[in-house]
Chains A and B, each alone.
Chain A
């Protein structure tokens, strides 16, 4: 069975990564169009000198990291709270945030913000984007962590309490380590959702908070643009390096 799974995994990973390979190959294309016409680094040069792209990448990174951190922490706490003692309206609103189409979330958040801004002298900006991102990532975090919690035996916590731990101590030292893989998975999910979000972000972003997906969307709508290939290849390469590095560190 293990061999079968491994073979299957190879095909599955190929399916996931082949488009990336295509993108990478064509990021070195000398021509602007989808016909290969020679090797060139011009698109990478274009990306490195594009101020817009760099600024928006930085914005995306900041937003994603802050929002993911906040959503993971708050969501984990919420999952735990819901597991201990449910809350119908909280579950309901988390459900709702999952089933609402992005355009609706975005448009209604925009309307809400604009209504609030009539009284408070604020504007759309990084803060509104981060708030929106935390909002829609929460449900994902809660779902993943809660799924893991369902397989956790409450007896373990009770045992800890019997042995003299405080409620929070039991949570911190017994439950949380058990949840670690799920929290990691949830954080990754939240990061993914945040870093690639276009619809909601484009609606609630302010003048100073253009993100990478917004810039990419604009470039991509005009047709194939190898500069985009260069961007995504760089992102994948950079992240791939990070992953390899963390794997190397883990082994030491």
Chain B
């Protein structure tokens, strides 16, 4: 089937090389034993999977999902009006779109450091709040889950805005006018006309934000003070400091399996993401 459709051929080849072959390697690794200094060696074992049942890892998974979900919801709420603004801005829309993307062409790391700089106890936000006498002592804005979520929202907003824009842009304003003419209030129009029409975009954006958030580790390291372990940190650790590639492989397979289940559960006929 894949070769019969010429449109799909290049993608098929690329996916085979960059996705499926490495996946096969990951599966193989997950069944091997860690080498003394990294890498893998025989014997074959399923120990890496039985290890997953430890409740410690369950807690980590749940916490990671929770943070990713909150960040995604916030991205949606914050990104939707922005996407709508851009879609309706007429001839200037490419300009506004580029302005959304522009910050993200600087390094993610540097932007995160900029936020750390802003949120520190002696940082600008606290200094202003104290100068305005709103607070007496500096607020602990950094090194907690809230800061991590802020960082995630900041980092992934364009991944929500772009797909939303892509579907909103096609939205015919006359449809909305028609709804208004028929007596619908703006909120009703939003919920019953606009949202359903751009549902594919919402789903796309939600996936593009939620999934990377699950695997994030830099944000929780930097903005969270490295105090909590999320799945991303755990996996990252296995492939670097702990040099336990097989366990890292089984962890990722578990993560990927859960994410795939969620993705398929959220599918609608005719509106699949991919």
A–B contact (CB under 8 angstroms): yes
Q: How far is the CB of A94 from chain B (nearest CB, A)?
A: 5
Q: How far is the CB of A184 from chain B (nearest CB, A)?
A: 7
B165 and A185 contact, CB distance less than 8 A? yes
- Say which size band chain A's interface belongs to: 35 or more
Query: Does A82 count as interface, using CB distance less than 8 angstroms?
Result: yes
**Residues of chain B lying within 8 A (CB to CB) of residue A81:** 5-8, 11
Query: Does B146 count as interface, using CB distance less than 8 angstroms?
Result: no
**Residues of chain B lying within 8 A (CB to CB) of residue A224:** 113, 117
Query: Does A119 count as interface, using CB distance less than 8 angstroms?
Result: no
Report Cα–Cα, A73/B254, bound state, in Å: 32
Known: A101-B215, A150-B271. A192 touches B110 (CB 8 A): no
B201 and A220 contact, CB distance less than 8 A? no
A189 and B15 contact, CB distance less than 8 A? no
- A243 to chain B: closest residue by CB: B98
B97 and A188 contact, CB distance less than 8 A? yes
Contact of A148 among B10, B103, B166 (CB under 8 A): B166
Known: A87-B1, A135-B19, A142-B274. A196 touches B215 (CB 8 A): no
Known: A19-B103, A148-B166. A91 touches B11 (CB 8 A): no
B170 and A148 contact, CB distance less than 8 A? yes
Q: How far is the CB of B197 from chain A (nearest CB, A)?
A: 8
Query: Does B37 count as interface, using CB distance less than 8 angstroms?
Result: no
B82 and A12 contact, CB distance less than 8 A? yes
**Residues of chain B lying within 8 A (CB to CB) of residue A22:** 114, 117-118, 124
B239 and A107 contact, CB distance less than 8 A? yes
- Say which size band chain B's interface belongs to: 35 or more
**Residues of chain B lying within 8 A (CB to CB) of residue A235:** 105-106
Report Cα–Cα, A101/B256, bound state, in Å: 8
B19 and A97 contact, CB distance less than 8 A? yes
Q: Which residues of chain B in 2-24 are interfacial with respect to chain A, using CB atoms and an 8 Å cutoff?
A: 2, 5-8, 10-12, 14-23
**Residues of chain B lying within 8 A (CB to CB) of residue A115:** 25
In the complex, identify which listed stretch (B41-49, B53-61, B137-145, B204-212) lies at the interface while the others stay far away. B204-212
**Residues of chain B lying within 8 A (CB to CB) of residue A186:** 162, 166
The contact string, 1 if C-beta is below 8 Å from chain A, for chain B 97-116, is: 11111111111111101110
Report Cα–Cα, A134/B197, bound state, in Å: 31
Report Cα–Cα, A11/B202, bound state, in Å: 22
Report Cα–Cα, A135/B167, bound state, in Å: 25
Q: How far is the CB of B133 from chain A (nearest CB, A)?
A: 22
B11 and A138 contact, CB distance less than 8 A? yes
Contact of A250 among B86, B94, B272 (CB under 8 A): B94
Chain A contact residues, majority secondary structure: helix
Query: Does A104 count as interface, using CB distance less than 8 angstroms?
Result: yes
Q: Which residues of chain B in 252-267 are interfacial with respect to chain A, using CB atoms and an 8 Å cutoff?
A: 252, 255-256, 259-260, 263
Q: How far is the CB of B262 from chain A (nearest CB, A)?
A: 9
Report Cα–Cα, A19/B78, bound state, in Å: 18
Q: How far is the CB of A65 from chain B (nearest CB, A)?
A: 13
**Residues of chain A lying within 8 A (CB to CB) of residue B12:** 90
- B104 to chain A: closest residue by CB: A192
In the complex, identify which listed stretch (A2-10, A41-49, A156-164) lies at the interface while the others stay far away. A2-10
A16 and B17 contact, CB distance less than 8 A? no
The contact string, 1 if C-beta is below 8 Å from chain B, for chain A 191-210, is: 11001101000000000000
A240 and B124 contact, CB distance less than 8 A? no
The contact string, 1 if C-beta is below 8 Å from chain A, for chain B 38-81, is: 00000000000000000000000000000000000000001001
Report Cα–Cα, A107/B22, bound state, in Å: 9
Contact of B102 among A86, A111, A189, A236 (CB under 8 A): A236
**Residues of chain B lying within 8 A (CB to CB) of residue A94:** 11, 15, 19, 274
The contact sample of 28 A-B pairs, CB cut-off 8 A, is A2-B88, A5-B85, A18-B118, A23-B114, A26-B117, A91-B272, A95-B273, A96-B260, A97-B19, A100-B19, A100-B215, A103-B232, A103-B236, A103-B240, A105-B22, A107-B248, A109-B18, A112-B22, A131-B17, A135-B18, A136-B18, A151-B200, A181-B169, A188-B101, A191-B105, A216-B109, A228-B110, A247-B94
